[in-house]
Amino acid sequence: MTVTLYTNDYLEYYLTLVGWLVNNGIWNLISDTGLFAVPFIVIVAREWLKVRQEGADEGNKGVLSLARIETHLYVGYMVVSLAGIPAVHVGLDTFQFDQERAQQCQTTVPAPADTGWSTTFSSLAGKSAQVPIWWAFMHALSKGITSGAVAAIPCGTDLRQMRMEVDATRIANPLLAQEVADFSHDCFGPSRARLFMRQPDLGAMANDAKALQDLNWIGSRFFLDTAGYYDTDYSKTPRTAWPYDAKRDVGLPQVTGGGGYPTCKQWWSDSGKGLRARLQAQVAPDLLTRFQGWANWLSQEEVTDAVIRQLVSPSNQVNGDVYTDYGGQIGGTITNGAARAGGTFGIALGSLAYFPAMDMVRQALPMVLSFIKMAMVICIPLVLIIGSYQLQVATTMSVIFFAIMFVDFWFELARWLDSTILDALYGSGSPHLSFNPVMGLNTATQDAILNFVMGAMFIILPVFWIGTLTWAGIKAGGVLEGLSSGTRDVKDAGSMPGNAASSRIISHVNSGGKSGSK
């Protein structure tokens, strides 16, 4: 008889097989040495001593003790046969991924063929695993309930993952990065200075925060579409992608190689060779597609411009007061404002280390959980022996086994909340509708604080879940302490670059303050 055990990922797949192989080895050792019989001797001795302590007042203690011993022995036999003795061969497999559902939910999962585990196996070093009947049932039940609970979570757009991908996107070509700097110097700087000198009547733009914000980046639609700005400014150095044009470049030197001096509008907008098109090529196409699918209230061009803007300039603020908090006094004071400004600066500095650290922790948590599951499987025969095959011990272990399996749901819930809460607060239909591809990294105080809180939920929610078992009388102890201790080094390592950057910033601020006071 063979039972198929399903796992969530390939690390858990491997460690589950290792766990049951070690479990079988321990049980074989217990059987060969005769230790499996020790709990039965303990049961007889414990009941005999209990009767001796109660005294022999009516002469029926012998019959009573025999009945007790017989009952406990039957329970012990049942526990051993169902939860101790490996009885069925186990075949391991991973869940069948529904790619259509994955696309609908805006998530991407690896198919078996895309991994090094495309050929599944159920043995290691020529050994195959066997599982006691009860634990095979508990594994199937736990995975079924966990998967059902995860399926109950509504599909949502993973803005957090998209934000991290945008933030990780860099201009890989140093020549292109230098060209962006040249464009800022030759085009954006002069056009913006001219705007301030002319002080035109911007009319409706004065009440349009989005339009005014457009003036703050090099791809400004105002500078591109308004005469007297990008159509008159030009590159101060020849560009080979634009051949020399005697009419356009009159008065400018013609150099070897035939490079010309495109206007800033040509330099930015020309199809295929313009700076905008080459910057867009630095962003993964699927990432742009996902943003365009989410921000359906914006045009494709607006979404592309927003992502390019993040690539070449500091991130925008996401405006809107969407939280209830207890900071400061009602109405606020100067002291409250100063405290809020200082706290915002601290949160911004702290986020340099915290966000990378929590990204590392989120990747490490499922790995740590897989090792905890393996350890749980290995401990089963020894705990049953030490617990004298008591039904209460087997029940407690079964509940904890299920609880550990169910932690996967809390990870998925925390991830879904972390991903979709931004969509709920700033997405389509929200009173605070906005589009910012790095919504998790802006320095708006409450948004930044929410990011800190959501990062902690990946540990707090599973620990809370284990804690609730005490309400049912199950003492699970610190079974999930490994989630925090096992990821501590990863978190510290992930925060090192951010801590170093924060230290340099603080050192620079302090040195600036000293020089300013002299």
* C-beta separation of 159 from 294 below 8 A: yes
Identify whether residues 157 and 175 lie together within a single domain: no
**Residue 265 and residue 179 share a domain:** yes
Residue 292 within any structural domain of the chain: no
Pair 371, 379: CB distance under 8 Å = no
Domain boundary among 265, 282, 299: 282
> Residue 303: inside a domain, yes or no?
no
Number of domains in the chain: 2
* Half-sphere exposure in the Cβ direction for 105 (13 Å, CA): 19
* pLDDT score recorded for residue 197: 83
pLDDT score for 323: 38
pLDDT digits (tens, 9 = 90+) for 164-220: 666 666 677 788 888 888 888 899 888 888 888 877 666 555 555 666 777 878 888
* Cβ–Cβ under 8 Å, residues 332 and 300: no
Residue 357 — very low, low, confident or very high, per pLDDT cuts 50/70/90?
A: low
Any domain includes 197: yes
Q: Establish if 91 belongs to a structural domain.
A: yes
- Looking at the fold, whether 135 and 35 belong to one and the same domain comes out as yes
* 261: containing domain: 170-282
Whether the model pTM is above 0.75 = no
- One domain for residues 366 and 487: yes
For the stretch 29-76, pLDDT in tens is: 998 998 888 988 988 888 888 777 766 555 566 676 778 788 888 998
* 403 part of a folded domain: yes
pLDDT digits (tens, 9 = 90+) for 12-29: 878 888 888 899 999 999
Of all residues in the chain, what percent are helix, strand and coil, respectively (each to 5)? 65, 5, 30
206 lies in some domain: yes
**Which two three-digit tokens encode residue 105?**
């939910």
Whole-angstrom Cα distance, residue 281 to residue 50? 80
What does residue 243 show for φ and ψ, rounded to 5 degrees? -60, 155
> Using CA atoms in the order 62, 63, 66, 71, what is the torsion angle rounded to 10 degrees?
-140
pLDDT of 136 > 70? The answer is yes
Distance between CA 43 and CA 68 in Å, rounded?
9
Is 6 in the same domain as 141? yes
Q: Is 179 found in the same domain as 111?
A: no
Categorize the per-residue pLDDT at 380 as very low, low, confident or very high, splitting at 50, 70 and 90: very high
Say whether both 123 and 183 belong to one domain. Answer: no
Residues 66 and 131 in one domain: yes
Q: Would residue 277 count as lying in a domain? A: yes
Q: Where among 230, 264, 282 does a domain terminate?
A: 282
For residue 137, tell me if it sits in a domain.
yes
**Do 276 and 239 share a structural domain?**
yes
Residue that finishes a domain, picked among 252, 282, 312: 282
Tell me: do 239 and 147 sit in the same domain.
no
Beta strands in 235-298 (DSSP E): 239-243, 259-260
Q: Which two tokens stand for residue 257?
A: 């190689």
Regarding whether 440 and 399 lie in a shared domain, the answer is yes
Please list the residues that pair with 234 across neighbouring strands.
263
- Quick one: 395 and 485 in the same domain? yes
What pLDDT is stored for residue 321 in this prediction?
Answer: 43
Kindly give the residue spans of alpha helices, DSSP state H, lying in 295-333.
300-312
